[in-house]
Amino acid sequence: MTGIIIKGIGGFYYVKAAGNIYECKARGILRKQRITPMIGDIAEIELSGDKGSIVAIKPRKSYLVRPPVSNIDTMVLVVAAASPEPNMFLIDKMLINAEIRGIEPVICINKTDLAKRNDIEKIYISAGYRVFSVSAEKKEGIKDLFEYLADKTTAFAGLSGVGKSSLLSLITDDVLETGTVSEKIQRGRHTTRHVELFELKNGGFVLDTPGFSSLEVDGIKAEDLYKYFPEMAESEGQCKFRGCSHINEPGCFVKEQLSQGKISESRYESYKQLYEKLKTVKEWEKK
Ligand SMILES: Nc1nc2c(ncn2[C@@H]2O[C@H](COP(=O)(O)OP(=O)(O)OP(=O)(O)O)[C@@H](O)[C@H]2O)c(=O)[nH]1
Ligand SMILES: [Mg+2]
Ligand SMILES: [Zn+2]
């Protein structure tokens, strides 16, 4: 039987297969192959009674390190319209990190009851991303987001306090921990700790992730950075010089697009900052 690992507790893995959840142990053969099962893995299991053993893991399409989870198809990057204030550079870094891992990112602007952010919507739609504007508080826009999640495995990511858990509790009808709950039990702001896939009524699986406060982009070369900006990747081969860095070469198509407002200032600014940073890292590593 084949199923998906939805959570792991104390050496047991919980595998959802054929409509049931089976408590499973990993077979010794996996240890010999140095495979540690991860949440999100597609596992082959053998049953004896209502208990099971994991005998094989299907190759992983993608994986995240924090939290450790595999086979994520989509990442919903949650930003708050206000409180905490959105940070475009951070959004751009999150988008790149998802793309590097082969995960399709979309943007979800939450807390639209506090502010309208047509500016952010416009920047990211014109860059080629899907954008959902929602309010967990007012339960607005949730249906479109829910429909988008059908039949995919999706991680919700973003700064602490943007409303990931609040959105997920609406979407799953389960009560995940939110800041409101944590205030009551005084555990501080970082409420989300355990890793578990929740199955949706439309066949999707969703995963809550702990909020973070900063993020780096690494593992790619400065020269490849433009490939992770869909609106720049599109202009491949249109600059005057081959291998144009889109920083200060003459006849640069990207800069032309920028001056015509077809590429947004904030996106280009992120590109430039990251380019310089990746370039410096590389120079330093060469020594
Ligand atoms: N006004 C408003 N507040 C919201 C909305 N969604 C969530 N909040 C509030 O924002 C706070 C943080 O929400 P959480 O869902 O815990 O945020 P989180 O992203 O899961 O935070 P971490 O688990 O720390 O990463 C809570 O007090 C929520 O009630 C919204 O749409 N509008
Ligand atoms: Mg949370
Ligand atoms: Zn160029």
* Residues contacting residue 93 through CB under 8 Å, at least 6 positions apart: 215, 216, 217, 270, 274
In angstroms, what is the span from residue 172 Cα to ligand 1's centroid?
16
| Ligand 1 pocket, mutate which of 166, 195, 214 (most atoms under 8 A from CB) | 166
Name the pLDDT band for 187 (thresholds 50, 70, 90): very low
Contact 165, 209 (CB under 8 A): no
Instruction: Give the per-residue SS3 of 201-226.
Output: CCCCEEEECCCECCCCCCCCCHHHHH
For ligand 1, atom 8, the nearest C-alpha belongs to 163
In angstroms, what is the span from residue 84 Cα to ligand 1's centroid?
10
- 183 has a pLDDT exceeding 70: no
Angle at 182 between CA 180 and CA 186, to 5 degrees: 125
Find out if CATH 2.40.50.140 is the number for domain 2-57: yes
94 alpha-carbon distance from chain centroid? 7
**pLDDT value of position 285:** 65
C-alpha span between 287 and 283 (Å, rounded): 7
Amino acid at 220: I
* Residues contacting residue 11 through CB under 8 Å, at least 6 positions apart: 25
Q: Which atom from ligand 1 is nearest to the alpha carbon of 168?
A: 15
Superfamily of domain 63-208: P-loop containing nucleotide triphosphate hydrolases (3.40.50.300)
Q: 100: number of CA atoms within 13 Å, CB side?
A: 17
| Ligand 1 pocket, mutate which of 178, 191, 192 (most atoms under 8 A from CB) | 178
Ligand closest to 115 (CA) is: 1
Strand partners, 48: 51
Q: Which two tokens stand for residue 261?
A: 């407002």
Question: How many other C-beta atoms are found inside a 10 Å radius of the C-beta of residue 284?
Answer: 8
**Mean predicted confidence (pLDDT) in 271-281:** 92
Q: What architecture does CATH give domain 222-286?
A: Orthogonal Bundle (1.10)
Over residues 56-105, the pLDDT tens digits come to: 999 999 988 878 899 999 999 999 999 999 999 999 999 999 999 999 99
**pLDDT value of position 65:** 82
Angle at 16 between CA 10 and CA 22, to 5 degrees: 55
**Mean predicted confidence (pLDDT) in 154-177:** 85
Dihedral angle computed from the Cα positions of residues 23, 27, 33 and 34, in that order, rounded to the nearest 10 degrees = 50
Domain 63-208 and domain 222-286 have a common topology: no
Q: 278: number of CA atoms within 13 Å, CB side?
A: 19
**pLDDT value of position 172:** 86
**Mean predicted confidence (pLDDT) in 146-172:** 94
| Protein residues with CB under 6 Å of any ligand 1 atom | 110-111, 113-114, 135-137, 158, 160-166, 178-180, 189-192, 210-211
What are the sequence ranges of the domains in the chain? 2-57, 63-208, 222-286
Amino acid at 180: T
How much is the pTM?
Answer: 0.89
In angstroms, what is the span from residue 245 Cα to ligand 3's centroid?
6
Q: Which two tokens stand for residue 40?
A: 């999100």
**pLDDT value of position 185:** 34
Over residues 205-256, the pLDDT tens digits come to: 999 988 877 788 888 999 999 999 999 998 889 999 999 999 999 999 999 9
